[in-house]
Chains A and B, each alone.
Chain A
Amino acid sequence: MGQPVAPRGDPRAVSEAGSLALEGLAKSYGETPVVAGVDLAIHPGEFVTLLGPSGCGKTTILRMVAGLTPPNAGRILLDGADITALPAHKRNMGLVFQNYALFPHMDVAGNVAFGLEMRGMKRAEASRRVQAVLDLVRLGGFAARRPRELSGGQQQRVALARALVVRPAVLLLDEPLSNLDAKLREDLRDEIRAIQERLRTTTLFVTHDQAEALTMSDRVVVLNAGRIEQVGTPVEIYDQPASPFVATFIGRVNRLDCTVAASDAAGSTLTAPGLRGRSVRALPAGARARAMVRPQRISLAAGHVEGENHLAGTVRRVVFAGDIVQVEVETPAGALTVEQPRRGLAQGDAVTAHWEAADMMLFPA
């Protein structure tokens, strides 16, 4: 239909194009801004996740890229060409929906062949490609089944095959795992990532699940209230959150309200009740600050130990959670949650919590 059909051959053929850029993209419904000016550049072959709580605008961004929702402002560029005004059916995007959205009146092969048929591909060639992509998602023997005869996981793999078979410039995944149960979700998560690494299709993935974001992505875009809070690799997002929102949304944290006693190029010295703290991050001396430490980065020692980033307290509760033990410690600076593999602590034990200066995240209060 006026657009080039992707090169023939193996479905694992590597696509070289597929750079996507969003410039000042904005959308509001009436007075309510849903997406408030988003800039983002995605490289060819990259797997980028839009992560945020519900209502943060992540799905709206995806729908604008797909051409299903017109933006109020901003541009969408695909390989440098402005596609903002292009209707959905001319964009060559592959979209996978949360509810699968398989055509109930077609069998699996008909569903997967739909995009090829719309592109006017010859039947023989199309059915060869359909079979190849069904093999890729391990549903080779299911071509003649109806969608309703498949499990949720199988339906979503069909939806993935249907989106991939047209060799989309960008693969768009809208919470594709959210309707599946936990075990299946992990399996399909790994499978999607493996297929994406094989095909190197530029992928934009939307989720509210931080575990999915961290395990699957090359880069994660954390969104809050229609704005980007941080863009970074999963490690950067987790270890160096740019804002308290990112720190609390990705993983869990302990918060400590402190005052900055002194500050230098190497970091800050902090005070809080019962604590002489040190963080590698710098804030102006005298400022009130909110420090955050992840439960896994805290170690517990028996008795009272003096020193920098040592906080003495009493064990209030011990929760056995299988692989780890969660210990709640009451300290003068507030309650701390500590996760450690070690057992043997009991309620009422005197302990000292300790962490490294590098693990103490610091934000202005």
Chain B
Amino acid sequence: MKSRRLAALLLLPASAITLIAFLLPMGWLARLSLDLNDGGILVAAVTADNYRHFFTDAFYLGVLWRSVWVASSVAALAVLAAYPIALFLFRTRSRWRGLLAVLTIAPLLVSSVVRTFGWMIILGDQGWINSTLLALGLIAAPVQLMNNTTGVLIGLTEIMMPTTTLALLAGFARLDLTLEEAARTLGASPWRCFRRVTLPLTAPGIAVGVLVTFVLSISSFITPSLLGGGRVPMLASTIYEEALETLNWPMAAAISLILIAVFGAVLVGYERLARRWA
């Protein structure tokens, strides 16, 4: 009995913080999403109008669809690009391994605002890529690489990669290198060894990588705003506009909850997969 009371006491601070900083605001947000907006003035109500509006309005549906599409694409691209790096870091016995690992996650030390500006310098109409291609005479006019979805995909993929790499590595625990050796001695060529042993055993890592990258991408704000140039509205930037520009707080609250519902759906899917590997 005593130890249970002690456990409850120890859990109290964390529970209090969670209650005050997370559960209460969430409850308040849920309540707010049922109110109405009249030209920037909050009207108390209990109605599903905001949700109905969201799911019938082409603009909002476009935002939802675009967000899911961009986040899925970024998750796929980042996992594809980070997988070989993570696999290499996991397997190498080189003495440079520690340094390489640090280099891989070093971009996290720089704010994503700064990194996004870096991408603007590279991708802009007078950016490195376009000026190089123009100088080489390969193109006649600058290729549009930013202020569109392409720019968001490129920038977001690179910005997510260090995190994706770490998530992949975290999920590689099942890959025992002697299993690859066993496969090879049993007659598996390097490619078939990868297909039949390495890939299935790193699948949990791929799932974690996709999950983490998707969640961070769909809720990212800075990179889509800057590299999208306002032409690639996603859920996070739309919430921002509804809350601070249109002053439609109930709609902002409703979209926030829809975003949380998307997280929930993805998490449920991940849980289903993870249970099979447990």
Contact = CB atoms under 8 A, between A and B. Distances in A.
Is chain B found bound to chain A in the same assembly? yes
Given A99-B178, A101-B181, A104-B174, A1 B189 contact: yes
Interface in A140-160: none
Nearest to B182: A101
Interface string A55-92: 00000000000111000000000000000000111111
B178 to A, nearest CB: 4
Interface stretch (A111-119, A262-270, A272-280, A312-320): A111-119
B178 A1 contact: no
A97 B178 contact: yes
A300 interface: no
Contact of B179 (A68, A103, A115, A163): A103
Interface in B178-205: 178-179, 181-190, 192-193, 196-197, 200-201
Interface in A149-180: 162-163, 166, 172
A97 B174 contact: no
Contact of B181 (A88, A91, A92, A105): A88
A93 B197 CA distance: 19
B187 A95 contact: no
B176 interface: yes
Nearest to B196: A114
Nearest to B177: A101
Given A104-B201, A114-B183, A89 B188 contact: yes
B189 A166 contact: no
A88 B192 contact: no
Secondary structure call for the B interface:
helix
Nearest to B200: A105
User: Chain A at the B interface: mostly helix, strand, loop or mixed?
Assistant: loop
Given A104-B201, A105-B201, A66 B174 contact: no
A93 B179 contact: no
A27 B187 CA distance: 24
Contact of A92 (B179, B183, B187, B193): B187
A115 B186 contact: yes
A118 B201 contact: no
Interface string B188-228: 11101100110011000000000000000000000000000
A162 B197 CA distance: 15
A244 interface: no
A117 B231 CA distance: 52
B200 A166 contact: no
Contacts of A1: 187, 189
Given A66-B185, A102-B182, A114-B188, 8 more contacts: A89-B188, A95-B181, A97-B181, A99-B176, A103-B179, A103-B182, A104-B201, A114-B186
5 contacts: A93-B185, A103-B197, A104-B179, A118-B188, A172-B185
